[in-house]
Amino acid sequence: MKKIFALSVLLLSLGFNAFAQGNQMPAGGLFFKNKAIPFSQIIELFPGDTMHLVLSTYDPNSTDSISISTDLATVLPTATYTLSNSKQPVLQIQWIPTNADVRLEPHMILVGIDDNASPIRGISSNHLRIRVNKPGSITLNNNPVNLNEEIQLQPGSPFNLSVSSLNPNLTDSIRITSNVASVLPGSTFITDNAKQQTAAIFWVPTASHVNAQPFTFTVSLQDSSVPGGKQYTYTFNVRVGNAGGVTGVRQEVTQTKPIQAYPNPFTSQLTFKVDQKSSGQLLIYNALGQEVDRILVSSGTSAEQDIRWEKAPQMPAGQYFGKLVSPAGEVQTIKFMKIQ
């Protein structure tokens, strides 16, 4: 491993201070987007994001010189870093991931902190966890989600979360599960039956859901390609307040308008309205996750396209889930219902 001097990654206030036979262990703080975070948190990124981490070391014995061992250069060879010149220095790391860095397994960077004190040295080690997600794999109301921040809603704001599988190996089977139904009262969780699943969560909070504390639920992806299977989990914190719009989505706006269905609910005829730039396939599933239809979508010349669902009159009453998949793999989802 490459040896560099001084690094940190945990705040004393987070409970990582330790003592070893009279010698106080070195500690530090990891800051991402100006917020202190623990080592256990996975930093979620998308290709093109700029990651800026600040790691500051700390030792109660101000005369101790702290050193660090890390495999940063091996794990993230394109990352750059700067290091302040002091006994208890600050390390800043910058990295811009690409599509080649996308995977379910987080990139793990080993960090070892050594205060070199005599006669008893204080040594600790931890891992930084950084995951790069596929563009369009997780969206909220058809906008990219900021996975590192709390999602805030107000009563009546629709919550339409879409999670699609990330594995670039199309032969691998990935299943998606969630505990959201037991956490968000009245929410709907639907998955398709594709080999690499897409899941959609639909919810509309009411005034009774206003609370100072967030609702916390998980969405897990089970990858069968790993021997014995392996589960990767995303944690979402959703808080309902009395005012304000939807937050927790990334600042950039998607280039296409979200898909719509009207009338919704419908009795016989149903039309989808999609942006002119939209192309790919519109897959339609019933409430059991079974694919019931597939519609080819081509880019149009007008601002929006109207696509009539020809099989709508033949379908039984019930809940349906539409998934518009672009050639680039970006996914938009929509829920609609047929009534008698």
pLDDT block averages, 10 residues each, the chain of length 340 = 34 32 58 84 90 82 75 93 78 91 89 69 81 84 83 87 77 88 91 84 89 93 74 91 62 60 88 78 84 84 80 90 78 83
Quick one: 144 and 127 in the same domain? no
In this prediction, residue 290 carries a pLDDT of 82
Query: Looking at the domain assignment, is residue 251 inside a domain?
Result: no
Quick one: 232 and 178 in the same domain? yes
Give the distance, in angstroms, between the CA of residue 315 and the centroid of all CA atoms in the same chain: 34
Quick one: 127 and 151 in the same domain? no
> In the listed set 84, 112, 132, which residue is the last one of a domain according to the structure?
132
- Tokens matching residue 175: 């299943």
> In the listed set 175, 209, 240, which residue is the last one of a domain according to the structure?
240
Q: 88 by DSSP, 3-state: which?
A: coil
Quick one: 233 and 299 in the same domain? no
- Strands 151-153 vs 230-240: parallel, antiparallel or unpaired: parallel
Number of neighbouring beta carbons within 10 Å of residue 28: 27
In this prediction, residue 240 carries a pLDDT of 92
What is the residue type of 157? S
Quick one: 10 and 42 in the same domain? yes
Quick one: 63 and 160 in the same domain? no
How many structural domains is the chain composed of?
3
Quick one: 124 and 190 in the same domain? no
Residue 277: which region, alpha, beta or left (left: phi > 0; alpha: psi -120 to 50)?
alpha
Whole-model pTM? Answer: 0.66
Residue 33's domain spans which residues? 2-132
Query: Looking at the domain assignment, is residue 248 inside a domain?
Result: no
In this prediction, residue 12 carries a pLDDT of 28
Quick one: 16 and 107 in the same domain? yes
Quick one: 157 and 71 in the same domain? no
